[in-house]
């Protein structure tokens, strides 16, 4: 090989040796590697996407003031019977045709609408009725009186791979049936704590008006419903998020049957495990979801889950963080019995839990403790604390503990403890008052990392602190 290369070029270059020997070059190699052709795919799928137009009627106030009287100026010109004309707000989004005349879109596209119409690719306009909407997944199901529409094929979003080509169709800024393409950037993204969706992240151009439109793979299968973008300008910045079809189809099934969605519920307050907390709990790595509170009479409490347990697996699925646990629990059916693997004091245990049904309003208002002056304990770990004021335990959702009055620095500040936090547990020992707090801390070995449970504005949270 080397003699042939020397004969042709004088000097053999290892990086191109094989290609030159085969009569090829890097330039010709890349020239032959073409990008996907979306033209045929677009032509086939455009009829399966609709433009959704909504009208929301604002309540007319009749030109009357706060006292219910017609202002003098209006009375003079128009009389006592004057009524303001009805105000209407119009909005637009995108939708996907499913079988049997159903249309899938985002809940925020149609929420609060008094009139909903869809416009097909051939410009035909149909009236639509809302079957049901689900705020937590941001999905809504519509129905039109026409069963002979071009329905999409449903794909399996679990099979999507990062780097795979995908295509979106929608109505950005009113430009209906616009096609954009890109790749899957990531899977299982969590955008906030108030939804139950592991989003698909893409770099497909999505803008206002694309909401509710489809995300297709190269086989022309629906794999996602475009829902959100990350933007500092209000427009596309390379980060788009779609709801996986596997999540969406379960929501569709429930909306068809009941008009609403029921989700599994554990009855715990959880958060992520960081490196220091993992060290204090005897875990090899920061993974799972740590239980900061077990709600009274909830499924978790009845099934044996305790505060400071780290949930590692749920129903056969690995839990990498609190968001993945929330998504898996929400996707499970209420009443189902599941196996939950927890790490308790460094030992793994498997518990059987019968899931409850997520309450309609599972969130409680956070209450910030007030910092009224009272007797203070000696400074421990850079903290000055006092006992929880009488009558505040029910308000703050705790039984005992101490309120942080001052954070002077050191271990407490590095751990993230703040003034106003209520410390309820240190190293798996309950804190009853100032003396209890000082005693428990002084029992710990210097240099040891221990978990510390706080209540911050009504929400429990575990931190890890180094004893010094």
| Mean pLDDT, residues 323-334 | 91
Of 118 and 372, the structure prediction assigns the larger pLDDT to: 118
Of 296 and 301, the structure prediction assigns the larger pLDDT to: 301
pLDDT value for 6: 37
How many CA atoms within 13 Å lie on the side-chain side of 39? 2
| Mean pLDDT, residues 386-390 | 79
Q: In angstroms, rounded to a whole number, what is the distance separating the alpha carbons of residues 315 and 317?
A: 6
pLDDT value for 18: 47
Please check whether residue 222 is in contact with residue 212, taking contact to mean a CB–CB distance below 8 angstroms: no
Mind giving me the DSSP string for 295-309? -TTSHHHHHT--TT-
Residue 365 pLDDT more than 50?
Answer: no
Could you tell me the fold of the domain covering 48-144? Thrombin, subunit H (2.40.10)
CATH code given to domain 264-357? 2.30.42.10
| Mean pLDDT, residues 392-403 | 78
| Mean pLDDT, residues 112-119 | 95
Of 370 and 272, the structure prediction assigns the larger pLDDT to: 272
Which is the catalytic residue, given 137, 178, 185, 211? Answer: 211
Confidence band, pLDDT 50/70/90 cuts, at residue 11? very low
Which is the catalytic residue, given 94, 108, 134, 377? Answer: 108
pLDDT value for 5: 40
Confidence band, pLDDT 50/70/90 cuts, at residue 332? very high
- What is the percent of the chain where pLDDT is above 90? 49
Confidence band, pLDDT 50/70/90 cuts, at residue 379? low
| Mean pLDDT, residues 276-282 | 89
Q: Answer yes or no: 193 catalytic.
A: no
Kind of pairing between the strands at 221-229 and 153-154: parallel
Tokens of 371: 């910092």
Tokens 């955008």 locate to 191
Q: Where is average pLDDT lowest: 50-59, 181-190, 354-363? A: 354-363
Confidence band, pLDDT 50/70/90 cuts, at residue 79? low
Strands of 211-260, DSSP E? 214-216, 221-229, 240-244
Q: Answer yes or no: 108 catalytic.
A: yes
Q: Angle at the Cα of 12 (from 8 to 14), degrees rounded to 5?
A: 135
pLDDT value for 114: 93
Confidence band, pLDDT 50/70/90 cuts, at residue 12? very low
Average pLDDT, the chain: 83
pLDDT value for 395: 72
Give the three-state DSSP class for 17: helix
- What is the percent of the chain where pLDDT is above 70? 82
What are the residue boundaries of the structural domains of the chain, listed by start?
Answer: 48-144, 153-258, 264-357, 383-466
Q: In angstroms, rounded to a whole number, what is the distance separating the alpha carbons of residues 165 and 254?
A: 30
pLDDT value for 233: 80
Which is the catalytic residue, given 94, 134, 137, 138? Answer: 138
Domain 48-144 shares a fold with domain 264-357: no
CATH entry 2.40.10.10 includes domain 153-258: yes
| Mean pLDDT, residues 143-150 | 92
| Mean pLDDT, residues 315-339 | 92
Q: In angstroms, rounded to a whole number, what is the distance separating the alpha carbons of residues 254 and 250?
A: 6
| Mean pLDDT, residues 201-215 | 95
pLDDT value for 236: 85
Q: pLDDT digit string (tens) for 234-246?
A: 788 889 999 999 9
Could you tell me the fold of the domain covering 383-466? Pdz3 Domain (2.30.42)
Residue 456 pLDDT more than 60?
Answer: yes
Q: Answer yes or no: 3 catalytic.
A: no
Of 381 and 172, the structure prediction assigns the larger pLDDT to: 172
Q: In angstroms, rounded to a whole number, what is the distance separating the alpha carbons of residues 408 and 414?
A: 11
């Amino acid at each position: 090989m080397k003699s042939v290369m020397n004969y042709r070029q004088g000097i053999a270059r290892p990086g191109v040796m094989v290609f030159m020997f085969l009569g090829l070059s890097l330039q010709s190699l890349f020239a032959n590697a073409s990008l996907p052709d979306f033209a045929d795919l677009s032509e086939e799928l455009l009829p399966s996407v609709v433009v959704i137009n909504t009208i929301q009627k604002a309540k007319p106030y009749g030109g009357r003031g706060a006292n219910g009287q017609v202002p003098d100026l209006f009375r003079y010109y128009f009389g006592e019977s004057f009524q303001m004309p009805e105000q209407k707000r119009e909005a637009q989004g995108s939708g996907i045709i499913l079988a049997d005349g159903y249309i899938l879109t985002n809940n925020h596209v149609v929420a609060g609408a008094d009139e909903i119409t869809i416009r097909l690719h051939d410009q035909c306009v149909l009236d639509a009725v809302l079957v049901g909407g689900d705020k937590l997944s941001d999905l809504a199901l519509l129905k039109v009186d026409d069963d002979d529409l071009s329905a999409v094929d449903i794909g399996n979003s679990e099979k999507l791979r990062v780097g795979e080509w995908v295509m979106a169709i929608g109505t950005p800024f009113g430009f209906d049936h616009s096609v954009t393409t890109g790749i899957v950037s990531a899977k299982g993204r969590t955008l906030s704590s108030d939804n139950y969706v592991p989003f698909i992240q893409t770099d497909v151009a999505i803008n206002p008006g694309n909401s509710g439109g489809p995300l297709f793979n190269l086989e022309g299968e629906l794999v996602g419903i475009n829902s959100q973008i990350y933007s500092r300008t209000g427009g596309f910045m390379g980060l788009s998020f779609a709801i996986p079809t596997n999540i969406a189809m379960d929501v569709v099934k429930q909306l068809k049957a009941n008009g609403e969605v029921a989700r599994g519920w554990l009855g715990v307050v959880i958060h992520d495990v960081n490196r220091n907390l993992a060290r204090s709990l005897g875990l090899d790595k920061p993974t799972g979801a740590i239980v900061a509170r077990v709600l009274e009479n909830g499924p978790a409490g009845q099934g044996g889950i305790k505060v400071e347990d780290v949930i590692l697996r749920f129903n056969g699925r690995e839990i990498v963080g609190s968001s993945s646990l929330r998504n898996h629990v929400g996707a499970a059916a209420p009443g189902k019995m599941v196996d939950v693997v927890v790490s308790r004091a460094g030992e793994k245990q498997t518990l059987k839990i019968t899931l409850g049904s997520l309450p309609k309003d599972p969130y409680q208002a956070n209450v910030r403790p007030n910092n009224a002056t009272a007797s203070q304990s000696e400074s421990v770990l850079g903290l000055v604390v006092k006992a929880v004021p009488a009558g505040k335990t029910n308000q703050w959702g705790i039984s005992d503990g101490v309120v942080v009055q001052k954070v002077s620095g050191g271990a407490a500040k590095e751990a993230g403890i703040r003034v106003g936090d209520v410390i309820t547990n240190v190293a798996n020992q309950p804190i009853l008052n100032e003396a209890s707090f000082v005693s428990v801390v002084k029992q710990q070995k210097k240099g040891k990392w221990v978990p510390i449970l706080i209540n911050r504005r009504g929400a429990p949270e575990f931190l890890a602190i180094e004893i010094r």
